Structure 1
Amino acid sequence: MTKRKNVLVVDDDPVFKLIARKLFERSGDFFEVTFAENGLEAIELLRAMIDEKLKSIPDIILLDIEMPIMNGWGFMEEFVKLPEEATQDISVYTVSSSIAQEDKNRTASYPQIKAYITKPLTVDIIRSIAGIP
């Protein structure tokens, strides 16, 4: 039996969030998905989870780059400041419609980011990053 994965999707696009929700549902009963509108909301949510020692700390974060208030890079600047013992098992994936090489290069500068995924998201991608056959 595969352990359920807690996933945090950080994206301001309502269409992407709707599609992501449907894709996770189609991927099987393996995911508990939470959504955040921007990097600030996501980092505040993570801090609260860590402070309260919640078991729902994400296993996977799908992070958009371009968002209002705090973009994906601002989120990563704050993420690396969180206690390593609380974040070491979180796999971050940037998910963006950008094909800019500079974004891909910047992704590589964060060891916490496992991969750069170009939208659209698919069931196969979701199952692959979660390690589900």
Structure 2
Amino acid sequence: MINQKNVLVVDDDPVFKLIARKLFERSGDLFNVVFAENGLDAIELLKNIINTNEAEIPDIILLDIEMPIMNGWGFMEEFIKLPEEKTKNITVYTVSSSIAQEDKNKTASYSQIKAYITKPLTLDIIKDIAEAS
């Protein structure tokens, strides 16, 4: 049995979510994917998982930067407040259509973020994430 990776995709764009779902499905049974609409939904979901079912704690988070209600940076500010022993094995990737250098620089300021991925998401990127995580 292949050890599935839990993935949390945090993005408000329905087209991106559809593409991400299809790409993860095409990569086989390697991933269990859950979606959140914005940073606030994602933090609440993560807190609930930590408190109720640690087996479902994400291995990987794909985090959009620009979202309504709570953006990716707001999510990260809340994420770093979570118990480190529960989040230390989560690999966060920011995924954005922004090519702004300040976003890339801000990504680098968080030790929890492994890389900045510029949209669109591709099957090769998914494979690279799987191998790196």
TM-score by length of 2: 0.96
Query: What is the match of residue 51 of structure 1?
Result: 51
What's 1:72 paired with?
72
Q: Does 1:61 align with 2:61?
A: yes
Quick one: structure 1 residues 53 and 29, their matched pair in 2 at CA, closer, same or farther if it must change by over 3 Å?
closer
Gaps of 5+ in 2: none
Percent identity between the aligned chains? 79
CA deviation map 1:70-129 (0-9, x unaligned): 000000000000000000000000000000000000000000000000000011101111
Specify the alignment match of 1:82 in structure 2. Answer: 82
1:2 shift after superposition: 3.9
Counterpart residue number, 1:103: 103
| Structure 2 counterparts to residues 23-38 of structure 1, below 5 A | 23-38=23-38
For 1:20, give the aligned amino acid.
A
Cα deviations by residue, 1:13-36 (Å, 9 ceiling, x for unpaired): 000000100000111110000000
Greater CA drift, 8-17 or 49-58: 49-58
Paired amino acid for 2:65: I
- Where do 4+ consecutive residues of structure 1 move more than 6 Å? none
**What's the secondary structure of 1:114's corresponding residue?**
strand
Q: Which has the higher helix share?
A: 2
State how many pairs are aligned: 132
Task: Tell me which residue corresponds to 1:14.
Answer: 14
* Matches of 2:65 and 2:85, distance apart in 1: 25
Task: Report deviation, 1:51.
Answer: 1.2
Classify the secondary structure of the residue corresponding to 1:16: helix
In 2, distance between residues paired with 1:98 and 1:85?
A: 32
Q: CA deviation at 1:53?
A: 3.8
CA RMSD of aligned residues (A): 1.1
